[in-house]
Amino acid sequence: MTIERSLVLVKPDGYARGLSGEVLRRIEAKGYTLVALAVTSPTREQLAAHYAEHEGKPFYEPLLEFMSSGPVTAAVIEGQGCIPGFRSLAGATNPTEAAPGSIRGDLGRDWGEKVQKNIVHGSDSPESAAREIAIWFPNL
């Protein structure tokens, strides 16, 4: 495996519950390095760019509304295999189905249809990571 970078977001639900520190602790405990870190209130333009592949889907507008509902903690992490590694650490998208020991399995709540309230986002590929990091950390 090669050293790679990934974008991690602690979403507004996780930020509001004070879980940023716990998420970052788990990332560092896994052996990944924090390269960049910011607490920010994302703009609609930033979110539209981030979620561009979902434009036109029924959940697109509710997702943008949710993600702009409060601050997020944005981080760039680095490490060997950190993209699949963080996604495993995050757990299944639906917190109810996420395994114990994962971020969503331990800290997530059952929000019914509002699966976007699942504490964290992690890039799903090297290409997505590069695109997302450029949106959230343009000077990196």
Does 66 show up as a binding residue in the annotation? no
**Which H or E run includes 131?**
helix 126-136
Pick the CATH number of 5-136 from 3.30.70.141, 1.10.3720.10, 3.40.50.880, 2.60.120.40: 3.30.70.141
What's the pLDDT at 124?
96
Tell which residue, 74, 78, 67, has the closest CA to residue 138.
Answer: 74
Is 121 known to be catalytic?
yes
For the ranges 23-37, 80-94, 102-116, 117-131, the lowest mean pLDDT is seen at: 102-116
Structure tokens at 18: 């004070």
Tell which residue, 62, 5, 1, has the closest CA to residue 33.
Answer: 5
What's the pLDDT at 101?
96
Does 25 show up as a binding residue in the annotation? no
94-114 tens-digit pLDDT: 898 999 999 999 999 876 666
Does 117 show up as a binding residue in the annotation? no
Annotated catalytic residue within 5, 26, 50, 121: 121
Does 5 show up as a binding residue in the annotation? no
Q: Is the pLDDT score of 85 beyond 80?
A: yes
The amino acid sitting at 133 is I
Does 131 show up as a binding residue in the annotation? no
Ranges assigned E (strand) in the chain: 3-10, 33-40, 72-80, 120-122
